[in-house]
Structure 1
């Protein structure tokens, strides 16, 4: 409890920030549709957002290193506020593409500030606890933001102003803190080739998470609004998926500590294929939200599972690098998928989004099935304990590697076996 008191201001700022961010995640595709933008254009703007996120992960740490965490947080939040208010005033799709790119950059920088600050306050004994609380705050705030969408019509300026207010309020706790800011952030290091060599299932899981979950964040509200009569219906749709992922991530993670994680990843892929098809087929039925809940339960944990899978076979000095590769591969998948999927929705109808999700998950499950031909370099007993993680984060959170010294030493030996030809 004492260690959490040292980061109370930061966690409060995080909650306020993500309430506003959670609101805009659902609001922006609905507003874009209301002003006449096509599904293709909405998907393109979502791709720009995730491309901005990747660009921010690579460039913003240097800026934070020059100006410091508190000023960096204030400046990046101001950019988020200006971007959100600008989107309300501008209906030109070209402007939306640029602004959403800048929003992605700013948000990745804000995550970098938050997570590097949390890491500076953590010790080997408290990292896991801090990371768990941070994940809980993140999911709870994003969920709370969904319900704000019902306070006014999406055509009005009220929701944009409300989102901007929450974003601006986030500056206050951090701006008034008496805690010293941490040291400058290290530049982002990643290598997709290293991730692929260490764990092909983790590589596939990270890409799948971006393709499906990233597209869900970008186009899910648009899908829901096509079959809904009110904004509350969209809220319950988004909340059901988020709730499914949040509530079942821990049980699924704990189960993965007791079995081969490749089995869990494959099961999640098959489950994602089945539940996505169930969502598409259950539109208009009473059990509609139940299928959405289980869809979220299957696909939302994919990122954390991919990260845990590669953690089993990565050395202490490369965990941040391969973990960052998982994060950026997820973001690239999220940038690539909305564009064709938005066009697919325009041509084949909104339900084609979940049929596409089903096909993507099924294809990846076949690929993962072939990986069972390769022996693993770790046994089930030697796996790293699962830690909850969200894909909507920055590389700095990976500095909070919760593995103990014994697990680090074992990982070094595992890496040697992997490099000698064994693949997990």
Structure 2
């Protein structure tokens, strides 16, 4: 009897929700626990950066390991490693040790996400991928926000919150272990070199890198800002939940708006609004008014979390459909580098300005990005609206998202079983043997005069 496709999709989504719940707890817990131990903002930033460094390695090098041992075995191994590392964090509170553990934890998390996303890929028809990506985003961010609520009800200085995260990692194995799905052979495509990608889509690559700078620092250091501003653990958790909910709630309407105009204008507006909010925080220090702070933090989450998906949509607009996957993966690298660098740069501002230095860092990054985006509008014509891809919600987690992205015309994942046929494209006749690039294709809608 043929297994329906819907349950096949549900298994990885349930595992994602369970994993993300613990991930949401741990992402805030690491910062506030180190802050409570009197660790400097520089070391807190380095610990956060170590996680993103491990995530980069884990998402880009784990495919071969996963293929060699199988998806479920690999997932169980990564989950066990993540659970053990999380418990060790609660037992040994030493910044240098935590940096190493967070690097290994990022590596394991990258492996978990590669398994989940490749599972989603093979169980999702191409026509449904946009809807599944939206469900992925809601579950990922929603579970992370819910994790903040769990954090409110535990004692920060005990092993309990770390045990909750470890339990979450362990239980995330259960849905996948109980499923029978024919898994794909992973053949993650090569991304374009960043130098070439910068020439093809300067605004896309720069905005992706800048969004990584901002979100890396936000994840790693925003809890430190609230703790340093006198917020207790419960209110710090509330604010982190609000920023995540803001990012989840505003991505879709902002994305739809970007379909109607030059996306560089929307990106400049997002970075501009973020800059204004950040300057307001530095100038007014509004943390004594909880609801005013919550309103601005909600809007800040909405703007910051929307930057990468719209950067990706803009980059996709500027290339041939056959290049979407490579561009997608290239922008993920740019974002990941930014997310790794951001938490190491922001502490310099914090050392000078105190907790509000984080928002000074945000404002400086946004100011440079806005200037660059406005400059780019004078150097290259906007892609005509008729040439726009429809905006797609996206989370910068792993290269597999490039495969799931419905804008990708040539999936590079080959399923093991014949019933999962590779879908090259819907209604475009394109010679896959041709070498497509924005530099060498004479495509009237894609080639721009770029002086």
TM-score by length of 1: 0.94
Specify the alignment match of 1:170 in structure 2: 172
In the aligned structure 1, how far is the partner of 2:93 from the partner of 2:315?
A: 43
Q: Does 1:320 align with 2:325?
A: yes
Please tell me whether the aligned partners of residues 193 and 330 of structure 2 are also in contact (alpha carbons under 8 angstroms). yes
Pick aligned residue for 1:129 from 98, 106, 131: 131
Q: Does 1:139 align with 2:166?
A: no
Structure 1 stretch displaced more, 114-123 or 17-26: 114-123
Specify the alignment match of 1:40 in structure 2: 42
In the aligned structure 2, how far is the partner of 1:311 from the partner of 1:197?
A: 14
Tell me the secondary structure at the aligned position of residue 351 of structure 1.
helix
Pick aligned residue for 1:186 from 185, 188, 193: 188
Deviation at 1:153, TM superposition (A): 1.9
Structure 1 stretch displaced more, 368-377 or 64-73: 368-377
Pick aligned residue for 1:402 from 398, 402, 406: 406
Specify the alignment match of 2:246 in structure 1: 244
Please tell me whether the aligned partners of residues 199 and 313 of structure 1 are also in contact (alpha carbons under 8 angstroms). yes
In the aligned structure 1, how far is the partner of 2:91 from the partner of 2:428?
A: 53
Q: Does 1:334 align with 2:339?
A: yes
In the aligned structure 2, how far is the partner of 1:327 from the partner of 1:172?
A: 29
Specify the alignment match of 1:284 in structure 2: 288
Output aligned runs, 1:13-52, within 5 Å.
13-52=15-54
Q: Does 1:206 align with 2:208?
A: yes
In the aligned structure 1, how far is the partner of 2:391 from the partner of 2:200?
A: 18
Residue 117 to residue 314, structure 1, CA distance change in 2 (3 Å) = farther
Output aligned runs, 1:48-127, within 5 Å.
48-127=50-129
Specify the alignment match of 2:387 in structure 1: 382
Tell me the secondary structure at the aligned position of residue 131 of structure 1.
helix
Structure 1 stretch displaced more, 219-228 or 363-372: 219-228
In the aligned structure 1, how far is the partner of 2:345 from the partner of 2:277?
A: 21
Please tell me whether the aligned partners of residues 243 and 296 of structure 1 are also in contact (alpha carbons under 8 angstroms). yes
Specify the alignment match of 2:152 in structure 1: 150
Residue 260 to residue 405, structure 1, CA distance change in 2 (3 Å) = farther
Deviation at 1:421, TM superposition (A): 4.7
Deviation at 1:383, TM superposition (A): 0.3
Deviation at 1:422, TM superposition (A): 3.3
Q: Does 1:309 align with 2:314?
A: yes
In the aligned structure 2, how far is the partner of 1:246 from the partner of 1:328?
A: 22
Deviation at 1:75, TM superposition (A): 0.6
RMSD: 2.1
- Structure 1, residues 39-74: CA drift from partner, whole Å, max 9, x if none? 111101111111111112231111112111111111
TM-score by length of 2: 0.88
Q: Number of paired residues?
A: 420
In the aligned structure 2, how far is the partner of 1:75 from the partner of 1:363?
A: 43
| Unaligned ranges ≥5, structure 1 | none
Residue 420 to residue 9, structure 1, CA distance change in 2 (3 Å) = closer
In the aligned structure 1, how far is the partner of 2:287 from the partner of 2:34?
A: 23
In the aligned structure 2, how far is the partner of 1:25 from the partner of 1:42?
A: 12
In the aligned structure 2, how far is the partner of 1:91 from the partner of 1:301?
A: 34
Deviation at 1:162, TM superposition (A): 0.8
Residue 129 to residue 370, structure 1, CA distance change in 2 (3 Å) = same
